[in-house]
Amino acid sequence: MAETLPRLRMDLDFGPSPLTDRPGLLIRDPLRYSDTTLIIPPRLVECLQLFDGNSTDLDLREALVRITGDLQVGDLQRQLLSALSEAGFLEDDNYRRLKEEQQARFATLPVREAVHAGGAYPADKVELFTTLATWMDGLVSDAPADSLIGIAAPHVSPDGGVACYRAAYGALRRELWNRVFVVLGTSHYGRPERFGLTRKPFATPLGTAETDCALVERLAGAAGEGAVLEDYCHAVEHSIEFQVVFLQHIFGPGIRILPILCGAFVKSIQNGGLPEDDENVRRFLGALGDLAAREGNRLFWVLGVDMAHVGRRYGDPFPAAAEEGHMVRVRELDHARIDCLVRGDADAFWAAVRENHDELKWCGSSAFYTFLRAVPGAKGELLNYKQWNIDRESVVTFGALSFRN
């Protein structure tokens, strides 16, 4: 009797193999339930569409016979199924075991580890300090912060977004060292219409940033199901980690933070209306707004946000090149949204995002909107804007902004 094949996980990263001697489709797990990387040979890539939860092992066998021209495909079939399963890439018992183990491990850790050190930025403390000094030294001054209440910086890889990181963090003043930094980051892997919280301190090569657990508990209690406490997404997410590293370089390793991951507002983008039409979003935004009003200048807001994602990597049927062709129009659309942020107009900003179901795929839109609702009356200034080819056919846009009340 035919057996149904398990479904291939849709939260995996897919891309072309970087190895010239091993072409094919590279697959890895961004959630790090598995540390395995697979390269599927070109002729077998089409077989992956059969792991849809409906096709059977007989369908896979038929496809392999057609592809290879050989009736004896039993071993190849078993190897493909075994490789995907053992890697944790299928929705089966092995994946569920790996997921439970990693989530349990994160729950017991005393700190949130610097998982992107050694990749996106140096893991060695001295090397990291030297790198950051090259980027940032001389930009932060002792001048009064005046009415400065927040900044928005990219969360793209620092080597790609260094000019915008410099502009955003260069706006800071040393007198802000004793604030609690509310870091609103994009939740790339979290549940839509939810906000991820953690009590864990953030460890980086520079030291350990303390999380204000009292504020975390207050938010979690007021937000109800809108908040996910000890959200595993914190374990792998880079959008907050990068901001912590820059803040530590400026103010020292022992800064205090309130890290919040903002899930996508999918319902509003797809169906219309405002994000807070969802009860979970409404409760969290209300809780965060109350916190902002109560704590006032004790808080400083830092947004870890990118903007548009355009090109083949992001599902578009065309290649994209920074500042060329289609990206000229993207610049105009980006700046229309940025203008809403500068004016502090949350309704206009969200109307622009919702138009054409967010054709620009701004991954920072929920964090921007959360800030505008939590701190009504904030006005912004655009400090820098960039388009960057993350690969030859795909572009990410991002900027640096400062906010004042």
**pLDDT value for 402:** 97
**pLDDT value for 160:** 94
Q: Where in the chain is the domain with CATH 3.40.830.10?
A: 109-404
Strands (DSSP E) found in 268-378? 299-304, 309-311
Residues in the chain: 405
- Is residue 200 a contact partner of residue 112, using CB atoms and an 8 Å limit? yes
Angstrom CA distances, 114 to 180, 232, 252, 259, 318, stand at: 20, 14, 16, 14, 35
Give the CATH number of domain 109-404: 3.40.830.10
**pLDDT value for 144:** 79
Q: H or E stretch including 271?
A: helix 266-271
The CA-based angle 271-274-280, given to 5 degrees, is: 95
Place of tokens 């932060």: 140
Which portions of the chain are predicted below pLDDT 70? none
Measured between its terminal Cα atoms, the distance across the chain in Å is 68
Angstrom CA distances, 326 to 316, 320, 329, 352, 387, stand at: 11, 7, 6, 18, 12
Q: In terms of DSSP H, where are the helices of 69-157?
A: 74-86, 93-108, 125-136
C-alpha neighbours within 13 Å on the C-beta side of residue 228: 17
Neighbouring C-beta atoms of residue 213, cutoff 10 Å: 13
Please state, in angstroms and rounded to a whole number, the distance separating the CA atoms of residues 333 and 110: 43
**pLDDT value for 137:** 80
Strands (DSSP E) found in 132-194? 148-153, 180-186
**pLDDT value for 142:** 77
Q: pLDDT by residue (tens digit) across 276-295?
A: 999 999 999 999 999 999 99
Q: pLDDT by residue (tens digit) across 74-104?
A: 999 999 999 999 999 999 999 999 999 999 9
Q: What is the pTM of this model?
A: 0.94
